[in-house]
Amino acid sequence: KAGVTQTPRYLIKTRGQQVTLSCSPISGHRSVSWYQQTPGQGLQFLFEYFSETQRNKGNFPGRFSGRQFSNSRSEMNVSTLELGDSALYLCASSLRPNEKLFFGSGTQLSVL
Amino acid sequence: DAKTTQPNSMESNEEEPVHLPCNHSTISGTDYIHWYRQLPSQGPEYVIHGLTSNVNNRMASLAIAEDRKSSTLILHRATLRDAAVYYCILRRRQGGSEKLVFGKGTKLTVNP
């Protein structure tokens, strides 16, 4: 069974641009959550989706948004990029909410 | 938000047991204690979780204090492949859904 797939693996953007990251969960998993990882702040929860509905959201500005499609695939979008948005963005899937998480390898975003 | 406290780093020798501590003094009655680990250039992977009783699986053991304010992840025989950052996490239910709060993690170095 394939694991969680995140694309792209690396991304370079400039300030003010927007970016869309993609996550394909493990087949059969319906819950997807997103995390931001930086050296200073560590791993921080962004949001969680289940059955195309956002169930929970972390303490991030409205520039960070996401969605989940009917096939459980998820995307997150960051608009008006800032230098501080440079981070590793991780996606995790689980069969249902509150169950064991399976993480992807992440998308490394660099904002110049 | 529930917080966990872990030592920044620990060192062990190969084939020796490793005890990774975690303090979670603000844990509530329905919080589960989860451990994940993150190898270099990878997303975190699930290790073990528990509520009140000690737990064992093929990867590790989890010892939970009687008052649940601390726990210890035990690797019975450390290998070089166990070198990773270990995260102690409380899975808290808020408003019917859940928001994961990660600690800073413990970087485990395993010496040959």
Over 80: is that where the pLDDT of A1 sits? no
Which tokens sit at B2? Answer: 């529930």
Nearest CA in chain A to B35: A100
Mean of the per-residue pLDDT values of chain A: 94
Of the ranges A65-74, B31-40, B45-54, B103-112, the best mean pLDDT one: A65-74
Contact B99 A58 (CB under 8 A): yes
Chain B residues close to A96, C-beta within 8 Å: none
Chain A residues close to B42, C-beta within 8 Å: 103, 105
Which tokens sit at A99? Answer: 């169950």
If you write DSSP's letter for every residue of B7-55 in order, what string do you get?
-SEEEEETTS-EEEEEE-TT--TTPEEEEEEE-TTS--EEEEEESSS-E
Confidence at residue B48, expressed as pLDDT on a 0 to 100 scale: 94
**Distance in Å, alpha carbon of B63 to nearest chain A alpha carbon:** 19
Confidence at residue B96, expressed as pLDDT on a 0 to 100 scale: 54
Out of A22-36, A74-88, B20-34, B69-83, pick the least confident.
B20-34
Confidence at residue A67, expressed as pLDDT on a 0 to 100 scale: 97
Confidence at residue A10, expressed as pLDDT on a 0 to 100 scale: 97
Confidence at residue B102, expressed as pLDDT on a 0 to 100 scale: 80
Residue A109 near residue A13, CB atoms below 8 Å: yes
**Distance in Å, alpha carbon of B80 to nearest chain A alpha carbon:** 20
Over 80: is that where the pLDDT of B103 sits? no
| pLDDT one-digit tens code per residue, B38-64 | 998 899 999 999 999 999 999 899 999
Of A37, A42, A33, the closest CA to residue A103 belongs to A33
- Cβ-based neighbour number of residue A92 at 10 Å: 26
Q: Between the CA of residue A31 and those of A22, A40, B8, B104, what are the distances in Å? A: 14, 28, 31, 25
Contact B46 A105 (CB under 8 A): no
Confidence at residue B50, expressed as pLDDT on a 0 to 100 scale: 92
Over 70: is that where the pLDDT of B2 sits? no
Over 70: is that where the pLDDT of B95 sits? no
Which tokens sit at B10? Answer: 């620990």
Contact B98 A48 (CB under 8 A): yes
**What are residue B80's phi and psi, to 5 degrees?**
-60, -30
Confidence at residue A90, expressed as pLDDT on a 0 to 100 scale: 97
Which tokens sit at B15? Answer: 């084939």
Nearest CA in chain B to A38: B104
